[in-house]
Amino acid sequence: MKKLWKVLIVDDEMLIRQGIINYIKWEEEGFQIVGEASNGQEALKLMDKSQPHIILTDIVMPVMDGMELVKEVKKRYPQMEIIVLSSFEDFDYVRSAFHNGVSDYILKPKINGPELLTVLSKIVERLPEDVESNDQEEDRSVEPLIKKLLLGYDVQLDEGWITSKFAHHTFSIFKVTGEPLGENQAEIISYLTRIVSGITIYLIKEEEKETIFLLNFDNTQFQQVKDAVHDLLKRNERTKGILSISFQSLHALQSIYNNNLMMLENYQFYLDDQVLIYDEIPKVGQSNPKFDLDYFIELFKREQFSAACEYLSRHVTTLTKQYTTDRVEFKSFLGNVMFNVIVLMGNMKYDTDQLEKDKYKYFSAINEAEHSSEAIATLQDFIAQVSQILSISNEGKDDLKMHRLLHYIEQHCTEQLSLKELANHFHFNPSYLSNYFSTHHHEGFSEYLNKVRINKAADYLKNSEISISDISAMVGYSDHSYFCKVFKKVKGMSPSGFRKGM
């Protein structure tokens, strides 16, 4: 008979619980719903009887909320896996929940059958096959025991057994991520054992694009281990690695994994370094100022969209230098800003139909981003779409908008101004701006820019003795011959002919 993993659902909204139950065909997928609870207190009463393997819980609930439930579960049943449901506003709770032993989370706005099944499947991969066994005889082979220590099981280890399995007293966790590793695992082990004499390596976690090893070596060899890890990863640019702080007791494994290794993962999310080692990480930037959402919204309401985006961009840049900021919090902040913008635009009567359809695409891309730059790129795509909606919806204000564009060109025409730079300044898509400009001004951007520059050049030719080549550079042309060609096209004569005719 096929083994079924037992799941307990905890949420104060009955409709949410029923929705979860109906998302997937549980038993066909290898799971069994063993109970429902509307708060943490009810859930604890059910656990003694049902002994679930996995708990799926909301954060905000009456009587006993999800945070208290997580703490109690990990105290009473450390082997149980917990998945939390959260909204974008709950990222502070989610961050705290991870510190207390939560395995994963799902954002409520995007919960669906495939998403739920993906998260559950990842959890099951981490559960020992003998999780239901009450047999007191411990599996004494090394790797299953290490996995149990990592999951928080209370494993009794005698010094004789430790000495027989581990030749040294110093340990470190080495995590490798990137392209599917496959046979590379054997190559990693082979390389490290060849370079670091006497090192012992155990596989403690294995997924398609992530492998975690426990390294055991002499305490005098740590620098040699670090050098070997650097050299190893330089051989494959498609992989990244993290090496934790060293520690002297196997009982510290879960703590090092949950704290030190997770901290390094956070740093790598922002830094994108190929190799990150605990004593080589950069200093954290100055503490980031709080993002004033009310101020951001007020700028938006006043239609000062450029100023609002600049304020947001500055804050996001500051956040990316706060390497200790939890990446879940960072992603949730971006999602929360997008959520508020969509709501605000709807209240301001903008056409947000397409944005409403696309929002989950943006939320999903941010949630799945492996590096902060990917999440920021998604935010920029979102802002570009918002900008286009605002531009289309404000067609009655086209005269004012065109006046601002023309004024900016006149103020900056002597610089190396391009359509892309102009589009970035006003938060337009360059292609959209090109069409907009030619449609509303009846000439293209380049044609107008040349006209403004040539008129300035004509003033210099008329009212000064400055050489023609110097004037060419002064009005924004780096190529003198091209300047003369454009001047003749606009004025019907060469610059020298124009000066002589004055």
Predicted pLDDT at 279: 76
> For position 378, what pLDDT does the model report?
94
CA distance 49 to 292: 48
Tell me how far apart the alpha carbons of residues 31 and 24 are, in angstroms, rounded to a whole number: 10
Enumerate the β-bridge partners of residue 36.
9
∠ CA 334-335-338, nearest 5°, is 90
What is the structure's pLDDT at 481? Answer: 92
Q: Class of 142-280 per CATH?
A: alpha beta
pTM, entire model: 0.49
CB-count burial class (<10 Å; 0-12, 13-18, 19+) for 156: exposed
Q: Which amino acid is at 210?
A: E
Distance CA 203, CA 96 (A): 29
In the chain, % helix, strand, coil (3-state, to 5) comes to: 60, 10, 30
Question: Is-contact 176 241, C-beta < 8 A?
Answer: yes
**Cβ within 8 Å of residue 353, ≥6 positions away:** none
What pLDDT is stored for residue 110 in this prediction?
Answer: 65
Instruction: Dihedral sign for Cα 239, 244, 250, 254, please.
Output: negative
Of 27, 45, 25, the C-alpha closest to 35 is: 45
For the record, the structure tokens of 68 come out as 């208290």
Measured between alpha carbons, how far is 288 from 269 in angstroms, rounded to an integer?
17
What distance in Å separates the CA atoms of residue 31 and residue 121, rounded to the nearest whole number? 10
d(Cα 104, Cα 119) in Å, to the nearest integer?
A: 7
Options 3.40.190.10, 3.10.350.10, 1.10.10.60, 1.10.150.120; CATH for 397-500 is 1.10.10.60
Amino acid found at 383: I
Separation of alpha carbons 325 and 317, rounded Å = 13
Count of Cβ atoms closer than 10 Å to residue 211 Cβ = 22
Tell me how far apart the alpha carbons of residues 382 and 362 are, in angstroms, rounded to a whole number.
7
Burial of 400 (0-12, 13-18, 19+ CB in 10 A): exposed
Cα–Cα distance, 28 to 351 (Å, whole number): 43
Taking 50 as the pLDDT cut, the residues of the chain under it are 1, 131-140, 396
Give the model confidence (pLDDT) of 227-282 as tens digits: 998 888 887 777 888 999 999 988 888 889 888 888 888 888 888 777 878 777 77
* Phi, psi torsion values for 6, nearest 5 degrees: -90, 135
Domain map (residue ranges) of the chain:
5-126, 142-280, 293-393, 397-500
Alpha helices by DSSP H, 32-155: 40-50, 66-76, 91-99, 113-126, 142-151
Amino acid sitting at position 357: K
Q: By C-alpha distance, which of 369, 292, 288, 350 is closest to 322?
A: 288
Tens digit of pLDDT for each residue in 171-222? 999 998 876 555 567 778 888 988 998 899 888 877 777 888 999 999 999 9
Q: Which CATH architecture has domain 5-126?
A: 3-Layer(aba) Sandwich (3.40)
Q: What 3-state DSSP class applies to 428?
A: coil
